[in-house]
Amino acid sequence: MKNNLWEIPDLWPGSTVFIIGGGVSLLQQDLTPLHNQRVIGVNHAFRLGPWVDVCWYGDRAWYGMQGKDIKEYGGLIVTCSNPGIPNRHNRVMYVGRSKPAGIEYKSRSHVAWNNNSGASAINLAWWLGARTVVLLGFDMQNPPDRRDYQSHWHNFYGNRFEGKTKKLINPYNRFLRHWPTVKQDAQNPQVNLKIINATVGGALELFERRTLEDVCRDL
């Protein structure tokens, strides 16, 4: 522990790590192939099953809203939201936020925040030893077909609407802004991280697209 932050260990050297986001496209995918893989679940994805190795979140209030479900979760819990020593949760490993965008590769106790938990989880995966990261549920857009459709594969947040238009609130333009820097840093020889997008559809078009079945077949 350095400066009261967790120094992320090289737990999975040279591995392929799957990161599960919150996009509603996840409802179209069979996640069974992930049950024997290295998996980071962003926010509520820890609820998908005990095969999710790591729960990662960035909102400091999120943990306290999960009740007994997060307390019964048996995996590693990590956050880059550091509320200070007095308010820390005993099971949670805290890391800091360094540069605003990209991939932090100098300090093992820090990640780049990238304005959202999903993109910052890539930095965690890299510190844990990933050489390939596979994204699922990274829709980066609201469902285009129905205004009132839930914006995530779960509905723990409820449907949040804009006051005047009554359309689903859309935070994704803000989220997408930092992804080019993530790609640029991933290609840096000091990082050398391959990123594959196995999300069904969605607006994130910067990375190689492959199906989950195709990725798992090659492992």
What Rg value do the Cα atoms of the chain yield, rounded?
A: 17
What is the rounded average pLDDT of the residues 10-35? 94
What whole-number distance in Å separates Cα of residue 195 and Cα of residue 100? 19
The predicted structure's pLDDT at residue 65? 85
| pLDDT tens digits, one per residue of 179-208 | 999 999 999 999 999 999 999 888 899 999
Kindly indicate the confidence band of residue 1, based on its pLDDT and cuts at 50, 70 and 90: very low
Residue 197 phi, psi dihedral angles, 5° rounding: -105, 110
What is the rounded average pLDDT of the residues 40-68? 93
| pLDDT tens digits, one per residue of 138-164 | 987 766 655 455 666 666 655 565 666
Q: Which residue has the higher pLDDT, 173 or 95?
A: 95
> What count of other Cβ atoms lies within 10 Å of the Cβ of residue 156?
13
Instruction: Report helix, strand or coil for 182.
Output: helix
Task: Tell me how far CA of residue 14 lies from CA of 38, 123, 125, 130, in angstroms.
Answer: 11, 14, 11, 6
Share of the chain above pLDDT 90, in %: 65
Domain ranges of the chain: 15-214
Contacts of 155 (CB under 8 A, 6+ apart): none
What whole-number distance in Å separates Cα of residue 101 and Cα of residue 85? 26
* pTM as predicted: 0.88
Q: Which long-range contacts (CB under 8 A, 24 or more apart) does 169-175 make?
A: 170/141, 170/142, 171/116, 172/140, 172/141, 172/142, 172/203, 174/115, 175/114, 175/115, 175/116, 175/118, 175/119, 175/140
Do 128 and 208 form a contact (C-beta atoms < 8 A)? no
Q: Which two tokens stand for residue 187?
A: 């290609």
What whole-number distance in Å separates Cα of residue 109 and Cα of residue 95? 5
Do 196 and 137 form a contact (C-beta atoms < 8 A)? no
| pLDDT tens digits, one per residue of 95-117 | 999 999 999 999 999 999 998 89
How big, in percent rounded to 5, are the helix, strand and coil portions of the chain?
25, 20, 55
